Amino acid sequence: MTVSPTQTPLHVALLHPDERQRSMLSSALNGVCASFTSSAQWMELAKYPLRLGGVWVLFDQGEETLEAVHTIRKAQENSFWGVLILGQRNTTAQQFLRGAGSDAYLSYPFDFPALIAQLKSIAEKHAPVSIYQVLPPQVASGLDRVWARFDQLNYYDILELDPSANLEEIKMRFHQRSLVLHPDRHRLIKRSHSPIYDRVNLIYKRVLEAYRILNDPLQRPLYDASLPLGVIRWGYHLEEKRKAILNTSDRPETHLALARTLSLRSRGLLKPAYDLVLSICQQEPMNMELQNAAHGYQKLIELASREPDIAVALEQQVAP
């Protein structure tokens, strides 16, 4: 028997410092929740694991609420937990809390149907795909594994590839993912189970984004160079680097070589990066930007070589 979004069991944990308010909300929510717990203290409430797809309902207490949201979003299960904040803050403060990781802010006074509607909406957004039983179990569990770490996955992770994967491997893995995730394959659940469709579509878009970047000979080395810095998605700064490289020369060969130098440098391979820049300069001896780049690498190597052990290591470096 399939479970529709409206039948998704509600699991709620309520944090409210006022005993009377907490009692009123507890009495009302106990009647509609599959599981429910409440407390006046965050540390006490956090001791009880919330079911996947559950919603933390936090009364807004300023810094304590913000700390609770941060704790929830750092947890391994964070993608499967929703956060609803109750309070009386202004619009700017509400938006700040949304940016910190809450799903919605319900302002006092509110009626009970509005609270239940918000809880159901948030629960549907975060519930594991596997509970709906509308996709093959293996596909559903795979989607849940990806969703649990979605914001931490780089392009190689999302495609389950090693960073050394060649273009053929990247293309093959993308086609495998497309056979499972392409939105056209899930049109039947778009109307009946829209939260699932939206999640599958979002994962597919990230897979497509990963393929487009890793399949591009200029963008991939720039992306690889960003990974040690903690950048896992292509964004404004990488796009600016790409444009800067394109403006350096009219030769596509130079563009690719410059991108590769950045990738080599990110792995600490200064000597191969410098050698590559020198070879580019020989092709374009009048290009002052390339000359300046070579001079910059030379200075870096000179500084690093002041330590004898580093100097020896640099001389032994070979481009992979």
Kindly report, residue by residue over 162-189, the tens digit of the pLDDT.
999 999 999 999 999 999 999 888 888 8
Largest CA distance in the chain: 79
- What does the pLDDT read at residue 85? 95
Reply yes or no on whether the pLDDT at 4 is more than 60. Answer: no
Res. 13 pLDDT band, cuts 50 70 90? very high
Which residue would you say has higher pLDDT here, 181 or 2?
Answer: 181
- By mean pLDDT, which of 41-45, 251-255, 306-310 is the weakest? 306-310
243 in the same domain as 151: no
How many structural domains comprise the chain?
3
Reply yes or no on whether the pLDDT at 1 is more than 50. Answer: no
- What does the pLDDT read at residue 237? 93
- What does the pLDDT read at residue 6? 44
Reply yes or no on whether the pLDDT at 5 is more than 70. Answer: no
**Any idea of the CA torsion for 71, 77, 81, 84, to the nearest 10 degrees?**
10
Q: Are 32 and 39 in contact (CB under 8 A)?
A: no
Res. 201 pLDDT band, cuts 50 70 90? very high
What CATH code is carried by the domain that includes residue 41? 3.40.50.2300
Domain end call among 215, 231, 248: 215
181 in the same domain as 231: no
**3-class DSSP assignment, residue 12:** strand
**3-class DSSP assignment, residue 162:** coil
- What does the pLDDT read at residue 316? 74
Res. 16 pLDDT band, cuts 50 70 90? very high
86 in the same domain as 55: yes
110 in the same domain as 32: yes
Segment 77-120, tens digit of pLDDT: 888 899 999 999 888 989 999 999 999 999 988 888 999 999 99
DSSP labels for 202-246?
HHHHHHHHHHHHHT-TTHHHHHHHHGGGT--S--HHHHHHHHHHH
Domain end call among 153, 181, 215: 215
Residues 6+ away with beta carbon under 8 Å from 88: 60, 107, 108
18 in the same domain as 110: yes
Show the domain range for 151: 130-215
36 in the same domain as 10: yes
- What does the pLDDT read at residue 7? 60
170 in the same domain as 278: no
- What does the pLDDT read at residue 148? 84
Which residue would you say has higher pLDDT here, 77 or 155?
Answer: 155
Segment 222-275, tens digit of pLDDT: 999 999 989 999 999 999 999 999 999 999 999 999 999 999 888 888 888 989
11 in the same domain as 122: yes
CA neighbor of 210 nearest in space, from 242, 185, 178:
178
> What does DSSP assign to residue 133?
-
Q: How far apart are CA 311 and CA 220, in angstroms?
A: 30
The reported pTM is 0.75
The edge-to-edge listing of strands for the beta sheet with 82-87 is: 35-39, 11-15, 55-59, 82-87, 104-107
Reply yes or no on whether the pLDDT at 3 is more than 90. Answer: no
CB-count burial class (<10 Å; 0-12, 13-18, 19+) for 227: middle
Domain end call among 215, 236, 259: 215
241 in the same domain as 191: no
What CATH code is carried by the domain that includes residue 181? 1.10.287
179 in the same domain as 73: no
112 in the same domain as 66: yes
- Output the average pLDDT for the chain: 89
- What does the pLDDT read at residue 252? 94
121 in the same domain as 9: yes
Residue-wise burial string across 272-295, b where 16 or more C-beta atoms lie within 10 A, e elsewhere: bbbbbbeebbeebeebeebeebbe
